Chains A and B, each alone.
Chain A
């Protein structure tokens, strides 16, 4: 049955449970009802008194009365009016009250052009301030490198604190004072600690919280080129709207996608974008360390490939089409191809894919029994955000991890060594933490749990009720896409070919096999057998520095592509802008463009990987065969091309099923006396994000994290591929017997999470 009420005589449909304002906004009638404190994701508060409507009763006994639309449940046949004078007066006068202390700094305010307060002020017709007294002023706080505060602009809608404390469950931001001296901020100056702090910029209806990174290279928002994109910094695949101007990317905003990120983004998603403008980003092809022209580097690469002794290495950091393009080229040349850099990562990807359909984050937020395995916030912060939403609805949370993470403090925490995690996961089916729930969900950080742990998770899931769901997360945007064409043993075959000297050249796409990728230790020992290594990438890395040829590629907002997220949801993104730089005419040879006109816009953006691969195929006279293969693979994985504006398409279960027969991963036994390795990450850390200065300035110090029982200042870890010396950071939250190091450390040692490790401690002097 269709439910409707009437607003100024027009039918407004609603879903039972909605309030009048919510339904009116959904129906596009927000021009009629101004509002501030209501936010679709934060709900109603009734604090601002702005969304007044006049309600007419159905009988003559009750006179019409003005009421707040956000607090009025929508009901059938309700008669509401906003077009009468008293409602207009209410709207106008409330705005005037809210504007009493608001500074008239709109011309220089960063919020200009996207200011809800400005829109509502204009909409309601308030234009003359009757108050002539002094305005209330504040001392602003320094909230760190990401969010800028200008408290004088505040209209006390409480959206910020409702987001930060209630939705994001952060503890270092609050509301202080009373009466007209209310302020919002931290106890003392300092960076906001929540992984979701950047959302303050979007929830604030005026310019109290503005984007500090955008501020460095500010442009009026109506001048921004914007378009639909997908976040490339983890496997969740939040929808984003990058904004660019004059050929450079200036900011990232959330793009509402109810199934995934809703109205919010994590700070990695919002503030990692300066990787595209980082000075270290390669923009010109390099051959033997020297900048060169496109055709020179292509000729060199083509001659390498013609020798027939090349191997191909894709990456879960690159998008689906580019990986498929590389795979198709390898296929045409009958050359070995791998999508990931180690057999361990291959097994991990296969076990991730073998899990049945994962829940969307919207479904996670509706779960009532949740088990989190590992430090979810540091891998996929928005998944942690969804867990917090479930907690608000009364879900029971159990966290299994080797360290008492922030999420662990919000639920039952079971401190476990990585090797014990697997055993615990295997027994979860009978565990009381999942009993009695309608909708149990298990969320794992894939790397901490490892392939054998993920296998145990799948087996546990088979024993649980049919509605139980599980998801595994990594901080790569496309592990699930890259792994679809990585059958058993691909990586091993590629490494074997190198060992047996069948290949002497490696063409890598977005991979860092000599730097921080899994198994880098092994690749380093194999590297002397390589005559040449060619890398297509958008970021500077260890591999980029030692590559014979480096081919720069377009960053994700500069090109179209497809990512497959942790659910197997294929999402498309569009090119938002073209990287350009203004150069003076004298710098462009032969250009007569007058200098007085401001020079010439010169495209310096590198092309996408598919362009390079297509040109290579042409030079090798394989273009037709390459294109056919590429089209076939794309059609196989993704028969229906998703619309960048839409919710994406889910991979069919039939494709998923082929991974269920993958080899059962071997389990490693660790004795209680041995030290065990776990991975340490933080919410802003990821290969691309690490080159974003502002976000990276918040990164915790590099070191070896261990329980404070260990009285040592430094330690040397011994692995099969080398030793690693790191300073010791005592961490009271860690489980005893566990050592946490970053991914780079694992790469240097040649070990994986959950492996036992030999340690020599350097004692305190």
Chain B
């Protein structure tokens, strides 16, 4: 999922209605938390403090419990990201297939630390725990699209496309 072009206000009636529907459809309110976080992240780009508290109050969980979940799942973002998110798998199969080189190259290209938004605002590089493409290691995810195996040349091409805003998911 790429970053939204406009950020939905937390008081937006249709957003709130959608979240409440999710909670109502869930057997217990707490069980709706991952869907609620997904919808909030899609609407706002990342889960900020206010969104976290809203998710907590909707599901009846404490804010700490929601933060536990957010920090456990690396797909949940707690900081703003660039237009595209590049998640590079560094689990064991990808690590053995050279994930560290891919990660270093992507980080150097972005010009900032892992997790930060590049100066152009187009890119955020995040190391990611296993994305289940061990057969295509080293693998990565661009927004919602998984790709692999990736080498330095395909990565260079991919990064150029992302910068030029011409990359399209297949």
Contacts and interface: CB of A to CB of B under 8 A. Distances in A.
B162 interface: no
A177 B68 CA distance: 7
Nearest to A177: B71
A730 interface: no
B31 interface: no
A655 to B, nearest CB: 46
Given A171-B64, A187-B63, A176 B71 contact: yes
A186 interface: yes
A171 B60 CA distance: 12
Contacts of A186: 64
Grouping DSSP codes into helix (H, G, I), strand (E, B) and loop, the B interface class, with mixed when no group exceeds half, is helix
A683 interface: no
Contacts of B26: none
Nearest to B65: A174
Nearest to B62: A171
Contacts of A187: 63-64, 67
B129 interface: yes
Interface string B39-70: 00000000000000000000000111101100
Interface in A175-211: 175-179, 186-187
A406 to B, nearest CB: 12
Contact of A173 (B64, B71, B72, B74): B64
Interface residues of A, number: 11
A282 B125 CA distance: 64
A172 B61 CA distance: 11
A181 to B, nearest CB: 8
A204 B129 CA distance: 29
Given A178-B129, A179-B129, A172 B64 contact: yes
A174 B72 contact: no
A176 B62 CA distance: 14
A178 B63 CA distance: 18
Grouping DSSP codes into helix (H, G, I), strand (E, B) and loop, the A interface class, with mixed when no group exceeds half, is loop
Interface in B67-95: 67-68, 71-72, 74
Nearest to B73: A178
Contacts of A179: 129
Contacts of B65: 171, 174
B118 to A, nearest CB: 23
Contacts of B64: 171-174, 186-187
Nearest to A188: B49
A682 B130 CA distance: 48
B67 A172 contact: no
Contacts of A172: 62, 64
A762 B111 CA distance: 61
Contacts, number: 26
A460 B67 CA distance: 46
A177 B69 CA distance: 8
A178 B71 CA distance: 7
B73 to A, nearest CB: 8
A174 B65 CA distance: 7
Contacts of B72: 176-178
B129 A174 contact: no
Contacts of A176: 67-68, 71-72
A485 to B, nearest CB: 48
Interface string A144-179: 000000000000000000000000000111111111
A176 B65 CA distance: 9
A300 to B, nearest CB: 59
Contacts of B71: 176-178
Contacts of A175: 68
Interface string A386-400: 000000000000000
Interface in A285-316: none
Nearest to A174: B64
A177 B76 CA distance: 11
B127 to A, nearest CB: 10
A93 B63 CA distance: 37
Nearest to A176: B71
A175 B67 CA distance: 9
Contacts of A178: 71-72, 74, 129
A178 to B, nearest CB: 5
A172 B67 CA distance: 11
A171 B65 CA distance: 8
Nearest to B72: A178
Contacts of A173: 64
A174 B64 CA distance: 6
A186 B68 CA distance: 10
B52 to A, nearest CB: 8
B62 to A, nearest CB: 4
A201 to B, nearest CB: 20
Nearest to B53: A187
Interface centre among A173, A174, A177, A178 (most CB of B within 10 A): A174
Contacts of B67: 174, 176, 187
B144 to A, nearest CB: 21
A187 B49 CA distance: 10
B100 to A, nearest CB: 13
A178 B72 CA distance: 5
A173 B74 CA distance: 21
Interface string A599-617: 0000000000000000000
Interface in B6-31: none
Contacts of B74: 178
B25 to A, nearest CB: 25
A356 B65 CA distance: 42
A175 B72 CA distance: 9
A189 to B, nearest CB: 13
A171 B71 CA distance: 17
A632 B65 CA distance: 58
A186 B67 CA distance: 10
A193 to B, nearest CB: 10
Interface centre among A171, A176, A187 (most CB of B within 10 A): A187
Given A174-B64, A177-B71, 12 more contacts: A171-B64, A172-B62, A173-B64, A174-B65, A174-B68, A175-B68, A176-B67, A177-B72, A178-B71, A178-B74, A187-B63, A187-B64
| Pairs of residues from A and B, 4 with the lowest C-beta to C-beta distance, nearest first | A171-B62, A174-B64, A176-B71, A174-B68
13 contacts: A171-B62, A171-B64, A172-B62, A174-B67, A176-B67, A176-B71, A176-B72, A177-B72, A178-B129, A179-B129, A186-B64, A187-B64, A187-B67
